[in-house]
Amino acid sequence: MAVGDVTMPQMHAVKGVKIGSAEAYVRYQNRRDLVIFEFSEGTHVAGVFTQNAFCAAPVHISKAHLKVTNPRYLVINTGNANAGTGKMGMINAQATCAKLAELASVQEVEVLPFSTGVIGEQLPIDRLVTGLQPALDSLKVEAWLDAATGIMTTDTTPKGASEQFELDGVTYSMTGISKGAGMIRPNMATMLSYVATDAPISRDLVQQLLNNAVNVSFNRITVDGDTSTNDSCIFAATGQAGGSEITSQTDARYAVVEDVLTRVMKRLAQLIIRDGEGATKFITIAVEGGGNTQECCDVAYSIAHSPLVKTAIFASDPNWGRILAAIGYAGVPNLDVEHIQVWLGDVQICKDGGAATDYTEEAGAREMSKSEITIRVDLGRGHAQDTVYTCDLSYDYVKINADYRS
């Protein structure tokens, strides 16, 4: 059951984007599992992909195609990751692109494939390509919810974010979806995300905007510390709402777009944590007072990845010694523990490296029992800060992953 507010907002249509979907029976019957995005000609597209060395066949192909040109189509299947599938996996991913290109009358290089699901099984390629024409036949502008549902795997809810904003008197839309619930520790993780705007932005800046936004959103979440083989995040700017193209970071409009994209991507990333497999609590880990951002990030992830911390939070047990231990093994050089302060919400549990004199177990337990918890750490060695989002580790996480292929 997802934690907190995970409701889908009004998903504003993006001019120049059409979405279609179909039931291809890639793995599951009677559910939408094949999604196609169509971008208008001239759309600038950027991507960020998994850093797992064992990345999936569609990731290899999408990265290669993006280096050549802007894509006109994205094709996404769920139920099968097409990862760990060797040469046949590459052949199947290429066959998917070739068939969609034939049906849509574009070049094969103008199609990007994406897959998510079980690793190590070959795609049921015949069923997948048979589903392409029905998905194309259903293309329409008002289909973001269908797409969000169609890319789900162990997700319990579709995930979306959408805003409208104004530049020089022109109203633009930015809308996106994401999926992911387990094997989440991006750089990136088993997550897919697709965001589009109808604002006019040069291709170089589309990539720069995406890199910046991903770094503070999808690269700052973790469910279980595992990095998937299939992570992909795509940002497209169609320019179809009009206006002159943004070609420089010094253009005042650039900062507005960057703010909107960052909000949208943070929301999409946090929705993944709120819907983490078996999650009962949403946890914000804010580290400040660092010598640099990286050591703040390292400490935050050290806490977020600790099974002992995560299970204590699940049990509402204020066993704060586990948090101190995680800080201590984060690898921060020359860390002076006597300068460290730690809070659970507004309750200080550690002062100058030891127990806060006014701390009580009752106060700690009250904070731990909340469905949304903030752990704040001050390292006392500088002015840098960083934030990571995670969830607790419950019995249901084990059950879901033990039964994943059932």
Active site members? 190
**Residue 94 CB-density burial (10 A; 0-12 exposed, 13-18 middle, 19+ buried):** middle
CB-CB contact of 272 with 158 (8 Å): no
Q: Are 191 and 224 in contact (CB under 8 A)?
A: no
Alpha-helical runs (H) found in 275-381: 293-305, 307-314, 321-328, 361-368
Whether 192 contacts 229, CB under 8 Å: no
Rounded Cα distance between 74 and 65, Å, is 11
Chain centroid to CA 107: 29
Q: Give the list of residues 6+ apart from residue 218 with CB closer than 8 angstroms, or none.
A: 48, 186, 188, 189, 191, 193, 231, 233, 265, 268, 269
CB 269 within 8 A of CB 388: no
Q: Compute the distance between CA of residue 254 and CA of residue 240 in angstroms, rounded to an integer.
A: 17
- The closest of 46, 302, 51 to 187, measured between CA atoms, is 51
Residues 201 and 207: their CA atoms lie apart, in Å, by 10
What are the backbone dihedrals phi and psi of residue 244, each rounded to the nearest 5 degrees, phi first?
Answer: -80, 150
